[in-house]
Amino acid sequence: MKHFIIVLLGIVLSTPTFAQPNKVVTAKLKYEDGKLIDAINIIDQAILHDKSKNNAGAWELRGDIYGALATSNNEQTDITTEAIYTAIAESYVRVDQIKEGNDISKMQRSCRLYGNMALNVGVGKFNVKDYSSARSLFLSAISLGEINNFTDSLAIYNVALASERLEDYSTAANYYSKCLKIGYRPETMYSFLAYAYKQLGDETSYEKTLREGVEKHPNNSNLITSILNVKLSSGDFEGALNDLNKLIELDPENPILHFSHGSILDNLKMSDDAIVSYKKAIALDPNYFDPQYNLGALYFNRGVELNNAANEIQDAASYEEKMNEVNLIFLEAQKQLEKAHEVKPEDRNTLSSLKQCYARMNDAEGYERVSDKLRSLGH
């Protein structure tokens, strides 16, 4: 009796040694019979076993089963789409790692098919703002492409884009960098990569990326505009002016550029040149408020400076002559600010400046009118 028990235990203990390879066979039979969920449950267990985890055939079978599930319209499953493609990709990648002298040409054809499918399904997920699922699918497309020595530049870009939407700027920067390395849309990628660094708070990498981008693509207006803003933020107005001149050459009919040009000249105390730029912006877009207001403010400030200078004059005739000049400047400021007020009637700064102009010009009616307007706005 004791001998019988020992033999029985030996049988029981030895059974698992053969069970997992048998599970691979069973999974294959279920797969061929169209019972995909059963096949998946079995093959997922089988590949965990020591006898199967380094078996290229088992992993390829797993990829094929999940691939069949991806293309099936009839199978009901709780497995998410992205999990299906992740399983396909990791299975075929494992085969590629093991190889064992296997002919993987059939699998490579499958990789092309499922890689394209993963990309297309990912785009669908992205379009409905399911960015997490979309990114997972794009990553699967990349892995499947690599098995065929194919660099899926669109999938790489899409991973970066989905990561940006997820506010995962570190991953976004990583994949935008990959896009640059493979030469995918470099002018755009420099801007996108710089933006990712900016969101990460990495100002050094942000500026370095922009400068490298402008160096390689000197006529790209987006890059020039970005580096222009960096220079403006740091107070480098002369450097910004040089960049802005390049932008105006590229887009001479853009009123925003001429306004920006005027603003920089204004900061550099080059008021006569600033007036020319502001007027150019207004000529291109008469309803553009900013140059209208800035031009009025420039005239007003010039009037204040001239008035202060006049107060230093002792000679009565010279003083009167200077004050006539002052009044003409304030009148010009008033006219310009009135135009700005027409464009933006509720702007308090314009109304306050107009109020001072009317007071200076002894225009009681205008003064009361803007005073009433300011009161109605709660000022």
Q: Tell me if 362 is assigned to some domain.
A: yes
| Eight-class DSSP state of 79 | S
Higher pLDDT pick, 19 / 214:
214
Looking at the domain assignment, is residue 28 inside a domain?
Answer: yes
Residue 355: name the closest of 334, 377, 328, 335 by CA: 334
The CATH number given to whatever domain includes residue 23 is: 1.25.40.10
**What is the residue-wise DSSP string for 341-354?**
HHH-TT-HHHHHHH
- Whether residue 107 is contained in a domain is answered as yes
Domain boundary among 94, 128, 148: 148
% of the chain at pLDDT higher than 70: 93
The CATH number of the domain holding residue 312 is 1.25.40
Digit-coded pLDDT (tens) for 287-315: 999 999 999 999 999 999 999 999 889 88
HEC secondary structure over 215-236: HHCCCCHHHHHHHHHHHHHCCC
Q: Which domain holds residue 301?
A: 287-379
Query: 234 in a domain, yes or no?
Result: no
Has residue 322 been placed in a domain?
yes
* Domain count within the chain: 2
For the stretch 68-123, pLDDT in tens is 999 997 778 899 999 999 999 999 999 999 986 567 888 999 999 999 999 999 99
- CA dist 330 and 301 (Å) reads 9
- For the chain, the straight-line distance linking the first and the last C-alpha, in angstroms and rounded, comes to 106
Q: Is 75 a domain residue? A: yes
What is the per-residue pLDDT for 52?
A: 84
For residue 166, the 8-state DSSP code is T
On whether residue 58 sits in a domain, the answer given is yes
pLDDT of residue 15: 36
Domain boundary among 110, 128, 148: 148
Place of tokens 């490579």: 108
Q: Choose one of 95, 129, 148: the last residue of a domain.
A: 148
Q: What is the CA radius of gyration of the chain?
A: 36
Residue 241 maps to a domain: no
Q: pLDDT digits over 27-64, tens only?
A: 999 999 999 999 999 999 999 988 888 899 999 999 99
